[in-house]
Amino acid sequence: MPRKIPKYAQLEHERRFLITQAPELSGVAFRLIEDLYIIGSRLRLRKITLGDGRDIQFKLCKKYPSDDRLSVPIVNTYLTADEHAVLSELPGRNIRKRRYSIVSSAKSLSLDVFEGQLSGLILCEVETASVAELESQVFPDWVRREVTDDPFFTGGNLAGIDARVLVAKLSSLYDRSD
């Protein structure tokens, strides 16, 4: 039986990995992403600024719960700067990161280098058009520890933790070997 997804939603096929040693990023273009996870909801308000600071996009996103570890229903709505300003007044928790697009073995990986309270955290994400394509991916040597199934590394959770909690989690993972 085909999977039912909410109206207007699309399936996002994605895997996430914790990175301990990132490749050289100097000279690699990035986007600055500022997220507000709105308290009491599954909504994320996003501002994306290209590295040169000239091009800015605004989005409102909702990810739906899913039993499928690799595919999540998601809806994005593009906003104007004024709409973003209104919604940014809602109570929420912030995350700020630089997203680098790395091309490796004919696929594109997103490397998120977090700032602020999450400084030191680097996550790699790969998104594909299908689950089959996602499962068949071969990754560079520096992509090792998958955290797709670990709810700790979801944006909504990360927005609510501080540096102390992050350090404790990372220490517990590294203590189990890498």
Q: What amino acid positions are annotated as catalytic residues?
A: 37
- Output the six-digit token pair for 8: 């207007």
148 contacts 16 by C-beta, under 8 angstroms? yes
How far apart are alpha carbons 166 and 118 in whole angstroms? 7
How far apart are alpha carbons 74 and 10 in whole angstroms? 5
Tell me which DSSP letter residue 151 carries.
G
The residue count of the chain comes to 178
How far apart are alpha carbons 73 and 42 in whole angstroms? 12
Secondary structure of residue 159 in the 3-state scheme: coil
Residue type, 7: K
The terminus-to-terminus CA distance of the chain in angstroms comes to: 39
The pair phi, psi for residue 101, each rounded to 5°, is: -100, 120
How far apart are alpha carbons 65 and 126 in whole angstroms? 19
